[in-house]
Structure 1
Amino acid sequence: MTDLSGSKPTTPRSTGKLILLGGLMLLAIATFVALGIWQVERLYWKRDLIARVDQRIHAAPVPAPEGATIDAMADEYLRVTATGTFDNSKETLVYASTELGPGYWVMTPLRLEDGNAILINRGFVPLEKRDPKMRTEGQLSGPVSVTGLLRPTEPKGSLLQSNDPTTGWWYSRDVAAIAADKDIGKIEPYFIDADEAPNPGGAPVGGLTRVVFPNSHLSYAITWFAMALMVIGLFAAAVRSELRRR
C-alpha cells in the first residue's frame, strides 16, 4: 500500500547493529564496574595506610636506623631519635611554603659518634632569617638529641622546580645531592623532620610536618558505579525503543 503522506516508512534496526550496540555498552559497563571495584580496594588500602601512619607518629621514638636500606612504605613517618653533633657549617636551605608563610627548611647534618651523618630538617625559618647570622642562638654546638619523623629522600626537585646546587637553590630535600654538594661524606638515605621541641631564639621552628593523605576513593567509586548504571539505563532505553519500532 502506498504511503500518501510522503513520509519515509520506519524500519527496525538490523539485528547486527543491536548486537554491536549491546556489546559496546556491556564493555563500557564492565569497564566502569571494574574501575569502581578498584577504587573500593584503594579506599580500604588508604584507610589502612592512614591507620598505620597514625600509629607510627604517635608511638614512642625508636633509634634512627643506621646502615640500612629504607623502605618508604614501611618506614616513612616512623618516629625516631638520634644523638650527635650538628655540623652547622654545612647547613642547606630548601625553599618551603608552610602555614607560617614562605621561607626555608634548615637542613643540617647531624654527625654521629661513628662519623656517619643523618640529615636533619631542623625546621622552618622565614625569608628574613635565611642568613644564619640572624639566628645565631639556634646554631647549636655540642652533643644534641633529635626526635622526629623519618622521611625518605626527595630526589631531583619539586614538580615545578629542579634543584640547582651550583646556584644554591634547593626545592626538595634530596639527601644524596645535598651530601655531595656539601661534602658531608657517608650519610643515611633519609632525613629526619625534627619535632616541635623549641630551639633557642625560636628558630628554626620544627614540628611542621604535614601528614596528609587525600582520600577521595569513595567518591571516585560512586562516580564509576553511577556511570555504569547510566549506561545500563541507556541500553534498556535503546532496547525498549527498538521493541516499540518492531
Structure 2
Amino acid sequence: MRRYAFVGVCLTLAALFTALGFWQVERRAWKLDLIEKVETRVHAAPSPLPPPSQWGGDLAYRRVRITGRFLHDRETLVQAVTVHGAGWWVLTPMRLSDPEPAFRRATGHPLILVNRGFVPNERRDPASRSAAQLAGRVTITGLLRTSEPGGAFLRSNDPAADRWFSRDVAAIARARDLGPIVPFFIDADSTANPGGFPIGGLTVIAFRNNHLSYAITWFALALLSVGGSVMVMRSGRKRR
C-alpha cells in the first residue's frame, strides 16, 4: 500500500512539474515578444506624446519628442546608482508648449516630469550646473517610462523630508504642488546638456530571460518523478 501511495505522489509531482515546465515555455515566448517590442520602440523615430485615451495602455519605452519650458525651481532629486557611480536623477517638470487638443481638454496646459539625467553628489546643487538650467522653449527626445510608486526595495519615499528613492510621478507632483500632470515621465536621451550635466541617455533596458533553463529544470524533475515511480513498481514486482 505504501508503494502505491509513493507512486501516486510521484505521478502527481510529475504532472505538477510538467505543468510548470509548459508555463515557463509560455513565459519565455511572452518575454521574447516583450524584448522584441521594446527594441522596436527604442530604435523607432520619435513620435508625439500619446493622447490621454491611450494612457491606460502599454506605453513603456516608447520614443517621444516634446517641446516646452522647464520649471527648474521645482526639480526633484532621486537617488540613483549608474555606470557613473552613485548620485541623483534630476527630475524637472516641463510645461508643454502648444499641447494637442486632447491634452488640453484632459489636463488644461499639462506638465510632464522629465528625467534629465544623472548628476554626482558634487553636482547636486543646481548652482553647480547653472549652464544646464535652460530657459525658454526646449525640445527633448527620450523614452516614456512608467511611474515608480512607493520607493525602492526596503526604502520608502519620504516626501516630507524630500527623500526620494524612486521616480513616483504622482507623489512628486503632490510634493511640488504641480497640479495636473501626465502620469508617466520621460527619460531624456544622450543629447549633451550645456556644462555636461545632467548626463542623459542612461536608461537601462535589461530583461532577465531564464525561462528556458527553468523549463528544462521542471521537465527534468518531472522525468525524475516518473522514473522514481517506475523503479518502485519494478522493485515491488521483483519481491513478488
CA distance in 2 between counterparts of 1:85 and 1:230 reads 64
Superposed displacement of residue 235, structure 1: 1.3
2:72 paired with 1:88 = yes
Post-superposition Cα deviations, 1:36-89, rounded to whole Å, max 9, x if no partner, equal 0000000011000000110000000110124345246x2100001110000000
Q: Is the 8 A contact 1:69 1:189 kept in 2?
A: no
3-state DSSP class of the match of 1:166? helix
CA distance in 2 between counterparts of 1:71 and 1:31 reads 35
3-state DSSP class of the match of 1:191? strand
3-state DSSP class of the match of 2:28? helix
2:134 paired with 1:134 = no
2:216 paired with 1:222 = yes
Segments of 4+ moved more than 2 angstroms: 16-19, 65-72
CA distance in 1 between counterparts of 2:179 and 2:29 reads 42
Q: Aligned-pair RMSD on alpha carbons?
A: 1.2
Superposed displacement of residue 18, structure 1: 3.0
CA distance in 2 between counterparts of 1:141 and 1:165 reads 27
Choose the corresponding residue for 1:183, options 174, 177, 186: 177
3-state DSSP class of the match of 1:60? coil
2:156 paired with 1:146 = no
CA distance in 1 between counterparts of 2:7 and 2:94 reads 66
Whichever residue aligns with residue 48 of structure 1, its letter is D
2:155 paired with 1:157 = no
2:11 paired with 1:17 = no
Post-superposition Cα deviations, 1:133-189, rounded to whole Å, max 9, x if no partner, equal 110011111100011000111111112210001111100001011011111121100
Aligned residues: percent identity?
53
CA distance in 2 between counterparts of 1:222 and 1:152 reads 33
Structure 2 unaligned blocks of 5 or more:
100-108
Q: Which moved more, 1:229-238 or 1:61-70?
A: 61-70
1:208 alignment counterpart: 202
Whichever residue aligns with residue 164 of structure 1, its letter is D
2:17 alignment counterpart: 32
2:42 alignment counterpart: 57
Whichever residue aligns with residue 88 of structure 1, its letter is H
1:33–1:56 distance in 2 versus 1, CA, 3 Å: same
| Length-normalised TM-score, structure 1 | 0.91
1:70 alignment counterpart: 55
The count of aligned residue pairs is 230
3-state DSSP class of the match of 1:48? helix
Q: Is the 8 A contact 2:7 2:232 kept in 1?
A: no
Superposed displacement of residue 237, structure 1: 1.4
* Structure label with greater radius of gyration: 1
Superposed displacement of residue 21, structure 1: 1.8
Structure 1 unaligned blocks of 5 or more:
1-15
2:193 alignment counterpart: 199
2:96 paired with 1:102 = no
Q: Is the 8 A contact 1:151 1:193 kept in 2?
A: yes
2:30 alignment counterpart: 45
CA distance in 2 between counterparts of 1:153 and 1:69 reads 15
CA distance in 2 between counterparts of 1:171 and 1:150 reads 19
Superposed displacement of residue 236, structure 1: 1.5
Q: Is the 8 A contact 1:70 1:152 kept in 2?
A: no
